[in-house]
Structure 1
Amino acid sequence: MTREGALAIMIAVAVGLLAALVWAWWRRTRRDAAFQAPVGEIPGEAHAVAEFAALYVATTRHGDPLERLAIAGLGFRSRSDVTVTDAGVALDLTGQPRVFLAADRIADVGQSTVAIDRVVEPDGLVRLAWRLDDGTVVDSYLRPQDASARALADAVAGILPPTQTGTDA
């Protein structure tokens, strides 16, 4: 086989792999098209409890940290500002509209070690379980940058009834 033939085969394989990735993501976005992130502003009467710089890691099916959901605005990793208010939690992902999770949408908050593309030290991620409009519970994972995961989890837990908090190590 000539060098040109080998190069042509390698290019064909690379193009085939890229096509497979695009096809898989397209199927995932179609599968998850019914899921909508609650886009909106923080209510005017809400008071900020804490603010955190974080890395938004992923949103997954509840209890399944390896099954990424392709929810519009929450499909990709991003830097994020997290604002915890007495009315809920606001996620400001770079280049996306603000996602506001009202306190009554939040099902649970805890800490975790593993999410779809991130493995960190024990309890280094914050797992925020929340309800979509149809009642489906999903988990969003955040990695605080300038504070501990415990501080962010505690701030969110402070706005929830005591029975709604937990740890998932």
Structure 2
Amino acid sequence: MNAHHPLALTQLAADEKSAQVTDWAARIGWVVGILLFIALVYWLMREGWKWRGTLQSDLPELPSAPSEPGATKLELTGRYHGSTTAGQWLDRIVAHGLGTRSRVELTLTDAGLDVVRPGARDFFIPREALREARLDKGIAGKVLAEGGLLIVTWAHGDKLLDSGFRSDHAAEQAAWVEAINNMIDSTENHSTTETEGAR
């Protein structure tokens, strides 16, 4: 049969239309399959998050800022990147909203470190709970250049936690490390003096 015969052209057009319909069905099937897979992964992640929160349910409620925090020493705005068990940068803490990343406004006062998080739960780290401040490169889910994160180690209940912050002006983070560590040294010296005086 001649390739240019009207019947042959009609058959070719019909075959092309049929192939297109088959392709669309396959594509829709793939899209639905991928969406279901994404939904499953999201559900598993959510369940894992809830399970981790259940495991950490023994963590006490977070302290609130005192009504009279004393003089303000430093302030910064930036991001809160999460908290982990101290020294274990991949062991994320999710209880009491500590796993929620957010914007942050940090204020260091005579009483301690006030962590205000728009859209997330605020908390306060009392002066006597502070253990160390340092610059580091990573915390669970976030890795930056060396020294890119301000890590504050603090005691909460019977756990030591590392909380990671990133200032909008990274250059000021070194001053925070110095100020927090000086505050810790001052608190420890004061406690030692009081203990010796009581003897």
Q: 1:131 aligns with which of 155, 166, 182?
A: 155
Deviation per residue, 1:53-100 (Å, 9 max, x gap): 121111001101111110213221111110001221110011234311
Q: Distance in 2 between matches of 1:83 and 1:117?
A: 24
Q: Is 1:14 matched up with 2:38?
A: yes
Which residue in the other structure is 2:136 paired with? 112
Q: After superposition, where does 1:48-127 map in structure 2 within 5 Å?
A: 48-127=72-151
Q: Could you tell me whether the CA contact under 8 Å between 2:100 and 2:120 is conserved in 1?
A: no
Contact 1:128 / 1:139 at 8 angstroms: preserved in 2? Answer: yes
1:84-128 deviation line (CA, Å, top 9, x unaligned)? 012211100112343111111111111111111222221111111
Q: CA 1:21–1:98 in structure 2 vs 1: closer, same or farther (change >3 Å)? A: closer
Larger CA Rg, structure 1 vs 2: 2
**Corresponding residue for 1:167?**
none
- The residue identity in structure 1 corresponding to 2:168 is Q
2:71 maps to 47
CA contact (8 A) 1:144 1:152 kept: no
Q: TM-score, normalised by structure 2?
A: 0.73
Change (3 A) 1:91 1:20: same
Q: 1:24 aligns with which of 44, 48, 66?
A: 48
Segments of 5+ residues of structure 1 without an aligned counterpart are 165-169
Counterpart residue type for residue 2 of structure 1: A
Alignment RMSD (CA, Å): 2.2
Q: 2:172 — aligned with what?
A: 148
Instruction: Decide whether the 8 Å contact of 2:132 with 2:180 is kept in 1.
Output: no
Identify which range, 1-10 or 71-80, moves more after superposition: 1-10
User: CA, structure 1 residues 162+119, in 2 after alignment: closer, same or farther (shift >3 Å)?
Assistant: farther
- The alignment partner of 1:129 has SS state of strand
Q: Secondary structure at the match of 1:64?
A: coil
Consecutive unaligned residues in structure 2, runs of 5 or more: 1-24, 189-199
Q: Cα offset for 1:4?
A: 3.9
The TM-score, its normalising length taken from structure 1, stands at 0.85
What is the CA–CA distance in structure 2 between the aligned matches of 1:75 and 1:128, rounded to whole Å?
Answer: 15
Q: 1:162 to 1:19 in 2, by over 3 A?
A: same
- Which stretch has the larger CA shift, 54-63 or 93-102? 93-102
User: How far 1:156 sits from its partner (Å)?
Assistant: 1.5
Number of aligned residue pairs: 163
Distance apart, 1:5 and its partner CA: 3.4
Which protein has the bigger strand share? 1
Alignment check: 8 A CA contact 1:37 1:71 kept = no
**Larger RCO (CA within 8 A; separation ≥ 6):** 1
Matched-pair contact (CA < 8 Å) for 1:37–1:74: no
After superposition, the Cα gap between the structure-2 partners of 1:95 and 1:3, relative to the gap in structure 1 and judged at 3 Å, is closer
